Structure 1
Amino acid sequence: MSWRSSFRCSKFRHVFGKPSTRDHSYDGVPITRSVHDNHYCSVNPCFIAVVTECAGGGSFLVLPIHHTGRVDPQHPRVCGHSGRVLDVKWNPFDDHCIASCSEDCTVKIWDIPVCGVQQNLTKARKTLIGHSRRVGLIEWHPTAENLLLSSAYDYKVLLWDVSQAGSVLRHPVRVVLMPVYHRYPSDMLLLSVSFNSDGSRLAVTSKDRRVRVLDPRTGKILQVSSSKSHRANKVLYIGSLKMLLSTGSSPWNHRQIVLWDPDDLSEPLYEEDLDGSAGVLFPFYDPDTNMLYLAGKGDGNIRYYELSTEKPYINFLTEYRSLLPQKGIARPGRERLARYRFTLSFQSGVFQEDLYPMTAGNQAAMTAQEWLSGINRGPVLMSMKPGTRVANPYPETPAEKGLPIISLEAFLEEQLAYQDAKYLREVSDLSGWQPDETQIPLWTYCCTPHCCEPAERPPPTTESELLQAFYRQQDEIRGLREQLNQKDARITQLELEIKNTRNNMRATF
């Protein structure tokens, strides 16, 4: 073994994990008892989704991030699948859109209301029907809008454009892998998938426990690893360092982490045996800090590493230990927003660029059609510093017309007033619309069922009253939006009534 210095310059040597208190955690969630090797949860800056146990179908729970504490056992769920839900993934460019796959052989795209799921959600926006057996994996494209990859136990890997018209899609835009002459080799059944930073390459692990690098547009296999010294289970692209990382086991059944050169999988760059446990190791990588997190299903610890381009490439930092075993793991995207606001509040506005570098934003770099035509683009980066304006490197992209600059303040404004960002695009031009100043304020309501005059009430003083007022406002907005969507039919109906009235008057005189 080569000598390794114990002294190394790092700004993450003292990183540590701390469990949340009961008031700031989610208690009472009926987590699924499925043995499928998946995360079973997904999180974004607005919501957390957890696959739950249920009888007679499949469902998952969607909770707002701030909805901590004990969860009501009868809390509404997303329950449109007829089989167990096996994977859920949030759309990286729409915090209110989530995809789910199930044992019922379908993939569904759901729209989550701004105020969360207030009643059982059974109708999906899109249903993707292209697999003949259970769908075990789904993954959104990292830079192209509306592209979703699905892998199933029918040995097919399909790429869907969910922006296509129709509520049911039966034909994918690309078939990445599929059986040839009805043969089902083990290398076609995928255990894990990972796109590189611009989505031009796809790394997969298969049932034969090898790592492969594919061209996702054509399905052509570019590199294949050897399974003699490492049996891979999960794979992850380390885009900023141009490496691949896989977790699995050695010939002696020791859990391993292995680093690869994605252009040459003949020999690994680095191997390390961890322990003799049997649980699957899930890797999570933070490209902004080059930190790697390893969490095993059934384990009570999470290991932290720092990756670099210099040997030995990977350096152990520390680990978080808990007495409770882990069932599912998820890493939030753009999670540094909350942490950054916390830091500023205690450091008098001092901005630390080394801790908060440019990060991938919530805007797509291109459309699905542009990527399918052969264009490759990296993610659109956003600044974490308030007031900093960052020029969009792809201003000509149709998906980003009208959004030439991305900043932290713009992102926060979009999240706090999402109905303006999401729904005003769907209605007609409202430039001439003027607000009705006689409209009932948020804090007034009718006390009796037959009351015609609104009764005034003081503003909400507690969080519960504020939430109730917020939900009432969302119901009003939803009703007004439905009326606005039906305006054309209502106008046609009124014109027909006027015409009939005139004809009757002429017949009378």
Structure 2
Amino acid sequence: AHPGPQGLSSPALEGAGANALQNLSREGTGRRVWQIPDYVPVRNMTEPVVTLEGHSKRVGILTWHPTARNVLLSAGGDNLVILWNVGTGEMLLRLDEVHTDLIYNACWNRNGSLLVTTCKDKHVRVIDPRKQQVVAERFAPHEGMRPLRAIFTREGYIFTTGFTRMSQRELGLWDPSFEEPIALQEMDTSNGVLLPFYDPDSSIVYLCGKGDSSIRYFEITDEPPYVHYLSTYSSKEPQRGMGFMPKRGLDVSKCEIARFFKLHERKCEPIAMTVPRKSDLFQDDLYPDTPGPEPALEADEWLSGKDAEPVLISLRDGYVPAKNRELKVVRKNVLDSRPPLGPRRSQSSGDTGFPRLTLDELLEEIRALQQAVQAQEKRISELEHKLGQFTNGTD
């Protein structure tokens, strides 16, 4: 999970890049991706799977692509949006001339063909990242100076939160062209920035304000007033941040439709949203097929212009993760992109007496070393697993 301008969320568990159950951390300006094993490790993890270098300032936004394998978006205080292929450690795209100030948040649409971002310059932008173009934008959809947030709905509309000129909190629903708001509602005079968490399966958006002690939720429909207030969850203590469980992590036997993780000063509290039902049977209307962890596209396919809808799974029997979720980072060989070697010059008095190795021999030695290292890592993991079972009393 990452704290940042968006509050707390769980990008490591969402999107097509999460097939390996990864976690992300920030050290300096580098992004680190970690592999969390299925067993309980008996020693600290010190080596990330891959480190991504590209930002010059602190990064506050990380979000996985919803359909392409291992494509990760990052945005930071340098006003840059960078797209990565975590599977190779490469930078795919760099959007460096789009935003003129600090980026508040970024959100993919359902198939990952577009981005919506909000910025301190008061613009909301819809961006085609592969063309590196702004396809639509709106200046000051909410007139106040406080931070904005924007997300895509399942139908492609844009839901925003912000402040009025009189510092009242406000929400809005917009057509992607941003001509006129479909709905615009004032809420209250609290000064906490509203963080929207959206469930596309039920079309419910949950609004959590930093410093609030409540969660308000609304349903987005095709009928006026389009954004319908449903209810409010209230508690005694204010939240410092909020996380949102992916849909496949919910307990369907208890009719749980959402689960939050409320950050306190010294603890993290789970909050379950349930729909009371008398029947113990699976509730089809509450749990339509939902996006699973399997990608619909490879990173290269998406980058070349191909789009695809998410691969859906049923939650009827609960979600069972795949056995092999290991992320393998395959870096491209830098020697492959070098120009061909020129003619070999004859040995002169200035040459050393060391034997000359051909490129093929060097590559073969490198492959052998890599295989030896992988074999040792596998053996260490197996030994850790066995030791974990022994110390837990399961063996």
- Tell me which interval the TM-score lies in, with the shorter structure as reference length: 0.7 to 0.9
TM-score normalized with structure 2 length: 0.72
TM-superposed deviation, 1:355: 1.3
Contact 1:225 1:267 in 2 (8 A): no
The 1-side partners of 2:391 and 2:151 are apart by 40
Contact 1:132 1:154 in 2 (8 A): yes
Correspondent of 1:245 among 151, 159, 176? 159
The residue that corresponds to 1:178 in the other structure is 96
The 2-side partners of 1:230 and 1:358 are apart by 38
**1:201-254 deviation line (CA, Å, top 9, x unaligned):** 100001112211000112200111131643551111102x32111111111111
1:156-171, aligned counterparts within 5 Å? 156-164=80-88, 169=89
The residue that corresponds to 1:289 in the other structure is 202
The residue that corresponds to 1:203 in the other structure is 116
Matched residue type, 1:148 = L
The residue that corresponds to 2:335 in the other structure is none
1:77-88, aligned counterparts within 5 Å? none
SS in 2 for 1:269: strand
Contact 2:206 2:217 in 1 (8 A): yes
Please state which structure has a larger fraction of its residues in strand. Answer: 2
The 2-side partners of 1:105 and 1:129 are apart by 7
Contact 1:200 1:215 in 2 (8 A): yes
TM-superposed deviation, 1:195: 0.2
Where structure 2 has 5 or more consecutive residues not aligned to the other structure, the ranges are 257-276, 330-370, 372-384
TM-superposed deviation, 1:185: 2.6
Matched residue type, 1:341 = S
Contact 1:37 1:280 in 2 (8 A): no
Matched residue type, 1:255 = R
**1:444-501 deviation line (CA, Å, top 9, x unaligned):** x9xxxxxxxxxxxxxxxxxx9997034xx6xxxxxxxxxxxxxxxxxxxxxxxxxxxx
Percent identity of equivalent pairs: 33
1:227 equivalent in alignment to 2:140: yes
**1:308-347 deviation line (CA, Å, top 9, x unaligned):** 0122111111101111111111111124x54213359x96
Contact 1:91 1:97 in 2 (8 A): no
Give 4+ residue runs of structure 1 displaced > 6 Å after superposition: 464-467
The residue that corresponds to 2:252 in the other structure is 340
TM-superposed deviation, 1:117: 5.0
SS in 1 for 2:181: coil
The 2-side partners of 1:424 and 1:212 are apart by 33
TM-superposed deviation, 1:424: 12
* Pair 466,258 (structure 1): closer, same or farther in 2 beyond 3 Å: farther
The 2-side partners of 1:230 and 1:134 are apart by 28
* Pair 370,277 (structure 1): closer, same or farther in 2 beyond 3 Å: same
RMSD: 3.1
Correspondent of 2:187 among 245, 254, 274? 274
Correspondent of 2:392 among 453, 468, 471? 468
TM-superposed deviation, 1:116: 4.2
Where structure 1 has 5 or more consecutive residues not aligned to the other structure, the ranges are 1-30, 43-87, 387-407, 429-441, 446-463, 474-509
**1:379-433 deviation line (CA, Å, top 9, x unaligned):** 01111224xxxxxxxxxxxxxxxxxxxxx5xx42x36xx3xx236999x9xxxxx
SS in 2 for 1:94: helix
TM-superposed deviation, 1:178: 0.8
1:374 equivalent in alignment to 2:305: yes
Contact 2:171 2:187 in 1 (8 A): yes
TM-score normalized with structure 1 length: 0.57
Contact 2:206 2:216 in 1 (8 A): yes
The 2-side partners of 1:423 and 1:220 are apart by 35
The residue that corresponds to 2:178 in the other structure is 265
Give the count of matched residue pairs: 317
Structure with bigger RCO (C-alpha 8 Å, 6+ apart): 2
The 1-side partners of 2:238 and 2:51 are apart by 34
SS in 2 for 1:329: strand
Matched residue type, 1:135 = V
Contact 1:101 1:138 in 2 (8 A): no
TM-superposed deviation, 1:153: 1.5
The 2-side partners of 1:465 and 1:89 are apart by 26
The residue that corresponds to 2:355 in the other structure is none
SS in 1 for 2:300: helix
* Pair 270,127 (structure 1): closer, same or farther in 2 beyond 3 Å: same
The 2-side partners of 1:348 and 1:275 are apart by 38
* Pair 40,353 (structure 1): closer, same or farther in 2 beyond 3 Å: closer
1:212 equivalent in alignment to 2:125: yes
TM-superposed deviation, 1:377: 0.5
Matched residue type, 1:106 = G
TM-superposed deviation, 1:37: 2.6
SS in 1 for 2:52: strand
**1:11-69 deviation line (CA, Å, top 9, x unaligned):** xxxxxxxxxxxxxxxxxxxx99x8x5332353xxxxxxxxxxxxxxxxxxxxxxxxxxx
* Pair 195,360 (structure 1): closer, same or farther in 2 beyond 3 Å: same
TM-superposed deviation, 1:134: 1.3
Contact 1:126 1:162 in 2 (8 A): yes
* Pair 348,219 (structure 1): closer, same or farther in 2 beyond 3 Å: same
1:153 equivalent in alignment to 2:77: yes
* Pair 307,255 (structure 1): closer, same or farther in 2 beyond 3 Å: same
The 1-side partners of 2:303 and 2:314 are apart by 29
The 2-side partners of 1:228 and 1:285 are apart by 19
TM-superposed deviation, 1:138: 1.1
Matched residue type, 1:352 = Q
Matched residue type, 1:136 = G
